[in-house]
Structure 1
Amino acid sequence: MTMTTGDIGPSRDRELEVLIDVGKALSSTLDLKEILQLVMHRLGMLFPVSHRAILILDIDADDLCYEVVSGIRADALFHNRVKKGRSVPGWIAMHGEVVFVEDVYKDSRFDKEYSLVILEGDRSVLGVPLKYKNHLVGVIELANPDPAPFLSITARETLSAVASLVAAAIDGARSYSRLQHMVIVDELTGLYNASYLLDFIGNEIERALRYKTPLSLIFIDLDFFKKVNDSHGHLVGSRMITEVGLLLKANIRKSDIAARYGGDEFVLVLPNTGKDGAKVLAGNLRRVVAEHDFLVAEGCFIKVTASFGISSFPEDGDSKLTVLQNADKAMYMAKQGGRNMVCCI
């Protein structure tokens, strides 16, 4: 590692100015994507080099992902993954140290062929770990054909100071995201909860009014679910509700949402879908549920059916509550008609 002092790079005054600017910018949002974009913009002002990137640690996969990239290889590298120990950011992630390399192709620590693919002609690299409370959250990687922008100690100190601010902001954004997730998601199924459902229906009704598009709801209730609890116990019943939720989510469009309304009741919201389209989907889902063997991994092979009720906006109600109530009424019509069927209000 070359340690050269010189006047190339940001001055102390410039460092302080940038740190204040970065701090103000990061305090303005809790959205992770916005944070990364803001940092990338500030890094461009401070280090006008040919390659800038922020990689975020994926804890589950134990590797790094290029989340924001600036330079001619941005499209190729975006969401590309780097294993710990491989290339400069991978080495930084493994060792938790700042790295400055004047010529990455001559440094035995790094895979030359892999560096050629990632960096191409950018031989000089400066990288710093993003750490919060001694835990790695990511890496900032800068690269350039010549080492001039990275030679001063001030440059490295400035980037390290920026990295500390960024790491804290990333941790805060993740904590906020987890809190939001807990507020809107049903813990048992991973589907949206009833509170979020009502807000979503209200927003979609406003959208339907604005753009004059259809909107439909499907209310679903499992048939004789009490027998499952009585025969197999409540733990098996809870696992079955989870599996039903996964099955419903796997068989709807990305634009639709599935929510657990309560107990063994589920609601699907179908934007840009009229009653005829909702009937088709409900019919398909009725067959999928009836033909599915539940809790096979537990050795249970439980069969269950469900009753489906459909309502549409605006013909079946002019508010989120009336549309939802009418879907519920239609579901009870299916119950009264013999269960395992689809009814419309």
Structure 2
Amino acid sequence: MPQNNPNLSQELTELRQKIKASKTAFDSTIAAYKALLDAFHTFRNSIGIVHQIKYLKDLPRALEDIARVRSLPILHLVLDKSFFAHRVPEEITLVPTEILDVHLAQFSPTIHAPRLYLGNIYDIDHPDFFLSSKIPAQQGSCFIFALRHKYQQQKTIGILSGADPDPSRFAPDQATDFLEHFCDTLSCTLVTLLEHAQLEEMSVSDSLTGVHNRAYLERHAQRILDFASRKNLPAHLLFIDLNGFKKVNDTLGHEAGDLVLIAVARTIQAMVRKYDIFVRLGGDEFVIILPDTNEHKAYSFVQRLNYALRRIDVADISGVPTNITISTSIGMARYRNGMTLEELIRAADQAMYTQKHLSRGYSSDQDQDLPDSDLKANVS
């Protein structure tokens, strides 16, 4: 039998320990690599979701998908109201700039901008502002990132925050390169979508009054009329023309005329429903489409509209003493199956001119201020 060699036994023991340590280190490296690979795939999928957002109205669904991909119980977006008001769905939280600044002040100075915070949820003031009312009751960790304007880095357009009941998931010493890049991508996408929305608004908005223009009417009216036809619902189109508007321009000046048009547009805008279509065709002509409105309701609306427009104080608006008042000729046409938009406008326009000619003291080659008279809308 070979004699026991103490030195050889010691060497074998040390070798086994080194092999075990190497295996442990290798396993740790493999685990870290897999974790990094998983994080990269999660990041890539999240970025892909952001790149697929085409309109601001798609934000809620995109956030849900991102939260699912990242296994986040809470993902909350807060946007600056001054940028995004009336442009995002109601599911997205909007706050005034000053409120946003007040809540961000607790993170100043921001050393790792755009990263504002990683750590315990309950170590920040007003966590519900950043994470909504769904914050974990007992413990949890969160991240809070500022979303910067891609052209004006000093401006914060919003905040993206996420939370998890696991208090160690978002630790202060955690590397956040992927998350930072994701938030930068989201910020740039939001600004791009905002620009597209603004361009869309400009293309379908009247530059003087701010209400929709003819392009908007042509883009959306036929869809409403087709729906009325399919569901057998009544719909009416009103063609509104201001009587004697030339006298306003000639007597008070074009600036006063513009102010009167703005006042008229705002008065009408305040009276129409959200699903009505109201546009300025041009000059002193306006059109309203009233879906799901029978003749009686349409006529009642015309009477109320005419009364409201007569109450506009031209002297007060223009700042010039005058006894000129606003009166209108309003033609009303009912939509009938198969009519095109142009045919419906033409019918209401003809009804408007019929009413205008019936008004006292008016002829087609005359453009003078008309006396107030009872409205008689012709139904085509």
SS state at 2:314 partner: coil
2:142 equivalent in structure 1:
125
Alignment of 1:47-62 (within 5 A): 48-59=71-82
Which blocks of at least 5 consecutive residues in structure 1 are unaligned? 1-6, 70-77
Indicate which of 314, 333, 343 corresponds to 2:354. Answer: 333
Closer, same or farther in 2 for the Cα pair 1:106/1:138, shift >3 Å?
closer
Shift in Å at residue 156 of structure 1?
A: 2.4
Distance across 1 between alignment mates of 2:190 and 2:130: 27
SS state at 2:53 partner: coil
1:83 equivalent in structure 2:
99
2:269 equivalent in structure 1:
249
SS state at 1:127 partner: strand
Once the two structures are aligned, what percentage of the paired residues are identical?
22
Indicate which of 343, 355, 358 corresponds to 1:322. Answer: 343
SS state at 2:160 partner: strand
Indicate which of 128, 140, 147 corresponds to 2:167. Answer: 147
2:366 equivalent in structure 1:
none
What residue identity is the alignment partner of 1:27? H
Greater strand share, structure number: 1
What residue identity is the alignment partner of 1:332? Y
Shift in Å at residue 23 of structure 1?
A: 3.0
- Structure 1 range deviating more: 53-62 or 156-165: 53-62
C-alpha contact (below 8 Å) 1:55/1:66 kept by paired residues: no
TM-score, normalised with respect to structure 1: 0.81
SS state at 2:210 partner: coil
1:3 equivalent in structure 2:
none
SS state at 2:159 partner: strand
C-alpha contact (below 8 Å) 2:50/2:189 kept by paired residues: yes
Indicate which of 227, 235, 244 corresponds to 1:207. Answer: 227
Alignment of 1:85-124 (within 5 A): 85-87=101-103, 91=106, 95=110, 96-106=113-123, 110=125, 119=135, 121=137, 122=139, 124=141
Q: CA RMSD in A?
A: 3.4
1:260 equivalent in structure 2:
280
Closer, same or farther in 2 for the Cα pair 1:164/1:197, shift >3 Å?
same
Closer, same or farther in 2 for the Cα pair 1:128/1:290, shift >3 Å?
same
- Higher RCO structure, 1 or 2 (CA under 8 Å, sep 6+): 1
Shift in Å at residue 181 of structure 1?
A: 0.5
Shift in Å at residue 103 of structure 1?
A: 3.3
TM-score, normalised with respect to structure 2: 0.75
Distance across 1 between alignment mates of 2:341 and 2:40: 52
What do the CA deviations read for 1:138-160 (whole angstroms, capped 9, x no partner)? Answer: 11112234421113866622221
1:178 aligns with 2:194: no
What do the CA deviations read for 1:214-239 (whole angstroms, capped 9, x no partner)? Answer: 11000000010001001111011011
Distance across 2 between alignment mates of 1:212 and 1:94: 62
1:306 equivalent in structure 2:
328
2:56 equivalent in structure 1:
32
